[in-house]
Amino acid sequence: MDEIDCAVIGAGVVGLAIARALAMAGREVVILEAEGAIGTHTSARNSEVIHAGISYAPGSLKGRLCVEGKAALYAYCAERGIGHRRIGKLIVATHESELPELGRYIELGSAHGVTDLRLIDAAEAHAMEPEVRCVGALHSPSTGIVDSHGLMLGYLGDAERHGATLALRSPVVAGEATADGIVLQVGASADTRLRCRNVINAAGLGAQRVAGAIAGMPATLIPPLHFAVGHYFTLGRKSPFNRLVYPTGREGALRAHVTIDLGGQCKFGPDLGWRDGVDYRFDASRAPAFRDAIRRYYPGLRDDDLQPGYTGIRPRLAGPGSSMHNTATDFVIQGGSQHGVAGLVNLFGIESPGLTASLAIGEHVRQIVEQQAEAKR
């Protein structure tokens, strides 16, 4: 049986950031990825937004790690030449009743140290984005966009240069916590066994399944998983926007955000629905609802403008009716002091802003691993 120091399960953007942090700290790292390529699920099917950190409950891991990760991510991308742009975002109110919600974002941002937000009136918003109709807006200048695949390749390259190894098509099918480490059974036929001093479960949509497959992990500490599907429609012509545009409004309403990728392609989404598993089918019948939601702030949208884009699945810990400001929707990062399995770190519910927070999450997990190793001495 092979013995290793650290096994990172999952080669999405967060798993790769964790592997990078551990390898750069001098640890032996193997990255176990069930698919045939890195980042094929949540990391590849999102908005590619660098979030400012203004939508999360005070004191939440999401808020703290988003703000820390944003600063680190901008510096990393600039240093490594990874595609990104700090284009800013407008959160727009289309009715007077929505204006107080803009102030709520300022409060949430301030709780995590975001101090560059600015309320603007309809005239200034129109000057910044002439196609947008609103009665007022909030300008977030530190919001941006990034090439998520380029970012993942950067993280993987750093990890490999410091000795990490990537093993594709290597699903973890079972495990057992023993006195000498965590034994993982790897591969579709479970023909490979690894004894690991540390296991980091960053399997994203599969994190609950992986945790449940490790004998000794208390089932009561594995939170439920809700598969939240989001559709993205693309705009079939040149983007009329220079920034991201997010409408405010009631929780659960179809808000149809505007995002722009580095190539200038404009897309709208995601919406929020629920599925029973990883199901990327696109429901084109959502187009009329998208058009109605978009026209609240962009009346120039034509009937034939929207084209089916793609869907993404987010690993939500709270199901229908949950608020984005609810602490039940926060990241869950468990070490041995929470669940009692020495050497195991579980990451659950790592959805948005996971990409923005990835470097900060990597450092956070590295600290947990170091603290657990120190406690053993």
Q: Per-residue pLDDT tens for 197-240?
A: 999 999 999 999 999 999 999 999 999 999 999 999 999 999 99
Query: DSSP for 77-99?
Result: HHHHT--EE---EEEEESSGGGH
- At 218 the pLDDT is 97
The pLDDT of residue 1 is 74
Q: What are phi and psi of 320, to 5 degrees?
A: -55, 140
Mean pLDDT in the chain? Answer: 95
89-141+226-316, CATH topology level: D-Amino Acid Oxidase; Chain A, domain 2 (3.30.9)
pLDDT digits (tens, 9 = 90+) for 65-80: 999 999 999 999 999 9
Quick: pLDDT tens for 355-377. 999 999 999 999 999 998 887 76
Q: Which residues lie closer than 8 Å to 228 by C-beta, 6 or more apart? A: 272, 273, 274, 313, 314, 315, 316, 351
Every domain of the chain and the residues it spans: 2-45+149-223+327-376, 89-141+226-316
Q: How confident is the model at residue 323 (pLDDT cuts 50, 70, 90)?
A: low
Is pLDDT of 252 > 70? no
pLDDT value at residue 188: 80
Q: Provide the pLDDT confidence category of residue 43 given band limits of 50, 70 and 90.
A: very high
Domain 2-45+149-223+327-376, CATH number (from 3.40.390.10, 3.60.15.10, 3.50.50.60, 3.40.50.2300):
3.50.50.60
What pLDDT was estimated at residue 325?
Answer: 46
Which pLDDT belongs to residue 349? 97
